[in-house]
Amino acid sequence: MKKVFLTTLAAVVFAIASFAQTVDAGTKALYYERPDEAVVALRAAVSANPKDVMATYWLGQALIAKNDLAGAKTVYQNALNAGLNDPYIWIGSGHVQLLEGGDKNSAKQKFEQAITATKKKTEDPNILLAIGRANADGGRAFGDVNYGIEKLKRAQDLDKKNPEISYQLGISYLKLGGERGGDAVEAFRDAISRDPKYAKAMYRIGKIYESQENKESMEKWYGDAIAVDQSFAPAYLAFFQWYQNRDVNAAKEFLDKFIANSPKSCETDFVQADYLFSVGKY
């Protein structure tokens, strides 16, 4: 009897671990800006456990990253219909509502409801982060970026370690316009101070300097992103796009590294074909 119990327990632990790895694989793919890969992993996670809140929330986020708002809306609505009435699902629904150009106040009510439902002695910084993420997304016409910034700053105070809080704060400042570029850089630097290997923040600082035609600073920050994470393909792609019409040999070097560190997809095929066309290799 004891042997049967231990065997069953081991199977349950293995299933939970495998499921967690699938969710982790999905969020990792989003970090590396691979939404197609993220959707596959997270669909598998939701299929394995339809009641898992975080798998469902992140599946919606992956679909949003693919610009599939209808798909994300369906994921969150189906979860609510199935009784998964959770603050993260409310936030995901509000996120979609903002990107659809819906009622901002209605979305804000969902966010505030999520804060109230999860508040103990203080607010939950992960809930505040999700709200900040929702309001940082999209163009200036979508969401309430100042409301999102307020929540992200509060999350920074409550959680001194999570680099994504400061990263999303930087994205929020960029959404306000170029005049807040300095604030964005400061926020991205804070993300790096929280995690010195957070390549995504270095890459974003590089994008700011690229927009200013500051080649030296751009190369420094893209280079730093690659130095801390040689598999961070977005930095190779950014380098390639910079050099494509300036130095075909340098462009080819970065293209090869981008391809080597990316799963084969329509994007990689297109980028490679675009380069070949530009150098006359029809």
pTM: 0.90
Q: Is residue 186 part of a domain?
A: no
Predicted local confidence at residue 3, as pLDDT: 47
Q: How confident is the model at residue 282 (pLDDT cuts 50, 70, 90)?
A: confident
Residue 55 in this model has a pLDDT that exceeds 80 = yes
Range(s) of the domain holding residue 236: 231-282
Query: Rounded CA gap, 11 and 232, in Å?
Result: 35
Is 29 within a domain?
Answer: yes
pLDDT of 59 above 70: yes
Average pLDDT over residues 186-203: 98
Residue pair 171/132 in contact (Cβ under 8 Å)? The answer is no
Range name among 39-43, 174-178, 207-211 with the lowest pLDDT average: 174-178
DSSP 104-159: HHHHHHHHHHHHHHH-SSS--HHHHHHHHHHHHSS-TTSS-HHHHHHHHHHHHHH-
pLDDT of residue 280: 78
Number of domains in the chain: 2
pLDDT digits (tens, 9 = 90+) for 33-54: 999 999 999 999 999 999 999 9
Q: What is the mean pLDDT of residues 7-14?
A: 39
Q: What is the pLDDT of residue 20?
A: 56
Q: Give the model's pLDDT for residue 51.
A: 96
Mean pLDDT (whole number) for 164-175: 98
CATH number at residue 75: 1.25.40.10
Between helix 233-243 and helix 248-260 the angle, nearest 10°, is 160
- Residue 29 pLDDT more than 80? yes
Least confident of 68-72, 164-168, 178-182: 178-182
| CA angle, residues 179, 182, 185, in degrees to nearest 5 | 130
Q: Is the pLDDT of residue 8 over 70?
A: no
pLDDT exceeds 60 at position 101: yes
Q: 139 phi and psi, to 5 degrees?
A: -75, 180
Residue ending a domain, choose from 85, 120, 142: 85
Residue 68 lies in a domain: yes
pLDDT for 96 beyond 60: yes
Among positive and negative, which fits the CA dihedral 38, 44, 46, 49?
negative
Provide the 10 A C-beta neighbour count for residue 192.
21
- pLDDT above 70 for 2: no
Q: How far apart are CA 140 and CA 209, in angstroms?
A: 21
Is 81 part of any domain?
A: yes
Q: Is residue 161 part of a domain?
A: no
151 C-beta neighbours (distance < 10 Å), count:
26
CB atoms within 10 A of CB 109: 13
Confidence of residue 217 (pLDDT cuts 50, 70, 90): very high
Mean pLDDT of the chain: 92
- Does residue 218 fall inside a structural domain? no
Structure tokens at 30: 């989003």
Give residue 10's pLDDT band: very low, low, confident or very high (50, 70, 90). Answer: very low
Instruction: Report the alpha-carbon distance of residue 170 to residue 179 in Å, rounded.
Output: 13
233 sits in which H/E element: helix 233-243
The Cα 134–Cα 86 span in angstroms is 16
Q: Which alpha helices (DSSP H) does 32-124 contain, by range?
A: 35-48, 53-65, 69-81, 87-99, 104-118
Q: How many residues are given for the chain?
A: 282
Domain stops at, among 85, 111, 145 = 85
**Token pair belonging to 20:** 């967690």
**213 backbone φψ class: left, alpha, beta (φ>0; ψ -120 to 50):** left
* pLDDT tier for residue 223 given thresholds of 50, 70 and 90: very high
Burial class (CB in 10 A: 0-12, 13-18, 19+), 199: buried
**23-27, 177-181, 213-217, 251-255: lowest mean pLDDT where?**
177-181
Domain boundary pick from 67, 85, 103: 85
Which among 255, 248, 257, 250 is positioned nearest to 279, based on CA atoms?
248
In this structure, is residue 116 part of a structural domain?
no
Question: Does the pLDDT value for residue 239 go beyond 80?
Answer: yes
The distance from CA 45 to its chain's CA centroid, rounded to whole angstroms, is 18
Q: Which residue has the tokens 């890459």?
A: 203
Q: Residue 139 domain-assigned?
A: no
pLDDT higher than 80, residue 91:
yes
